[in-house]
Amino acid sequence: MKKIGVAILGLGVVGGGAYRILTEHREFYKTTQAVDISVECVLEPNRARLEALGVPDEIVANNIAEIACDPDVNIVVECIGGVDVAREYVLDVLYGGKSVVTSNKELIAKYYHELERTAKRHSAGLYFEASCVGGVPIIRTLYDGVQSNKITSMMGIINGTTNYILTKMTEEGTSYSAALKEAQQLGYAEADPDADVEGYDAAYKLSVLSSLAFHTKIPYTKVLREGITGVCEEDIARGKALGYRLKLLAVAKQSEEGIEVRVHPAFLKKEHPLASVAGSYNAVFLTGDSVGDLMLYGKGAGDLPTGSAIVSDILYAASRVEPRYSTFKNTASPEKDVKFVTDFASSYYMRLTVNDKTGVLSKIAAIFGKYNISILELLQTPESDKATLVIVTHETHEAAIKNAVAKLNASELAKVEAVLRVVS
């Protein structure tokens, strides 16, 4: 029976979950996978975590050098988070020819090219299923499930924190600040929530996933990123009344025009499969040229769901004769012939405050017409001498909407209070 020694760097939520699964399922993996996986070392300075998990003292390492030099360790699991120390430690063990499994989406988004180059030079593997969408096997699906397809689009809810907040705001009318506070109390959001609510986490994940899906390097710096901090309850409620649900969406598309990658709040029709993904759950909706539409759904975070993805990579690495590497030229920058679409097409939701006077609507329509924007839905709510207009447009382009908004705000006709994209 094949024997694999594992070291775990960091026993926080994810590392602790992976440790529990590996120790509790060791006999199960012997029976079902014909591999004996033993945790040989852990690197964790927090004694309370070690004691809570019952980690034997004899497998606790004092530093990364002990692990890098340990002949009994074949695979190193990185769960310490951040990028500086994590990058240093991962490079150290890759230099030693040890394969790495990581849950660190920021590390992969920023240094995938460097880490994979080092892994190749030392015949080591680099695996990161747990870095994107928690326990949902999206990376394995892209590698081993839909590889017969050209993926034309990918759209997903890939951050559990923001989905929890938007679900509370939509279903219960909770304010943003109250929903965020509750997410923090439940452990879904950090004390400093910017990585989640400003869209950085989702942008890192989309960079990784779109690179794999489209077989070309897509740096995270190419992802248009907008968070949810500017979203208000009024627009969520008005959108809901129109039959829409607001989500922080990650969108990636590939066409003859080029590649578009973006993370931002967007309305979905309530009938769309992603619209019903609630709470901290995640989902990814894929379209392949042969298979058509697919959706993967599950828990996007947590100790055991993400730990499950970590252990899945360990088993995957243990079963391979040769390490698996990317299918594209993995460099810091995209290849020169890759075009990125920034003036993408979408429908739009707009909320305006206007003077409640005769002729205002026709003048607004004239501005829209100047930029080839047509109106799909329009609702007007009178408020003394003012009125609130809610407009949903037919599909148009980003530049057209920006120009129309600038024109409206510069006029005395209306003040544009909110603009949100609508995804069909």
**Residue 315 counted as domain residue:** no
3-class state of residue 185 by DSSP: helix
Q: Looking at the annotation, which residues are catalytic?
A: 205
Q: Does residue 370 belong to any structural domain of this protein?
A: yes
Same domain, residue pair 290 and 257: yes
Do residues 127 and 142 both lie within one domain?
no
Among residues 131, 148, 183, which one ends one of the domains?
A: 131
323 in a structural domain: no
Residue labelled with tokens 């769901």: 305
Q: For residues 162 and 294, state if they share a domain.
A: yes
Q: How many domains does the chain have?
A: 3
Question: Do 373 and 401 touch, CB atoms closer than 8 A?
Answer: yes
Q: Does some domain include residue 314? A: no
Domain termination site, one of 299, 324, 354: 299
Instruction: Say whether both 120 and 190 belong to one domain.
Output: no
Tell me the pTM.
Answer: 0.96
In this structure, the answer to whether residues 354 and 263 fall within a common structural domain is no
Four-residue CA torsion sign, 171, 176, 182, 184: positive
Instruction: Give the pLDDT of the chain (424 residues) as one tens digit per residue.
Output: 999 999 999 999 999 999 999 999 999 999 999 999 999 999 999 999 999 999 999 999 999 999 999 999 999 999 998 999 999 999 999 999 999 999 999 999 999 999 999 999 999 999 999 999 999 999 999 999 999 999 999 999 999 999 999 999 999 999 999 999 999 998 888 889 999 999 999 999 999 999 999 999 999 999 999 999 999 999 999 999 999 999 999 999 999 999 999 999 999 999 999 999 999 999 999 999 999 999 999 998 889 999 999 999 999 999 999 999 999 999 999 999 999 999 999 999 999 999 878 888 899 999 999 999 999 999 988 777 789 999 999 999 999 999 999 999 999 889 999 999 999 7
Question: 232, exposed or middle or buried, with CB in 10 Å at 0-12, 13-18, 19+?
Answer: middle
Three-state DSSP class for residue 4: strand
One domain for residues 93 and 178: no
Residue 310 lies in a domain: no
Instruction: Provide the residue range defining the domain that includes 352.
Output: 345-423
CATH of the domain at 56: 3.40.50.720
Across 398-424, b (16+ Cβ under 10 Å) vs e yields: bebbeebbebbeeeebbebebbbbbbe
Task: Give domain status of residue 230, yes or no.
Answer: yes
Q: Residue 212: which CATH number?
A: 3.30.360.10
Same domain, 260 and 388: no
What value does the CA radius of gyration of the chain take, rounded to a whole number of Å? 24
The verdict on 284 and 171 lying in the same domain is yes
284 and 166 in a single domain? The answer is: yes
What CATH number corresponds to the domain at position 383?
3.30.70.260
**Of 131, 154, 182, at which residue does a domain stop?**
131
Judgement on whether residues 166 and 269 belong to the same structural domain of the protein:
yes
Q: Is residue 330 part of a domain?
A: no
Does 277 map to a domain? yes
Question: Can you state the angle between helices 160-172 and 233-241, rounded to 10 degrees?
Answer: 70
Q: Both 106 and 173 in a single domain?
A: no
242 and 277, same domain (yes or no): yes
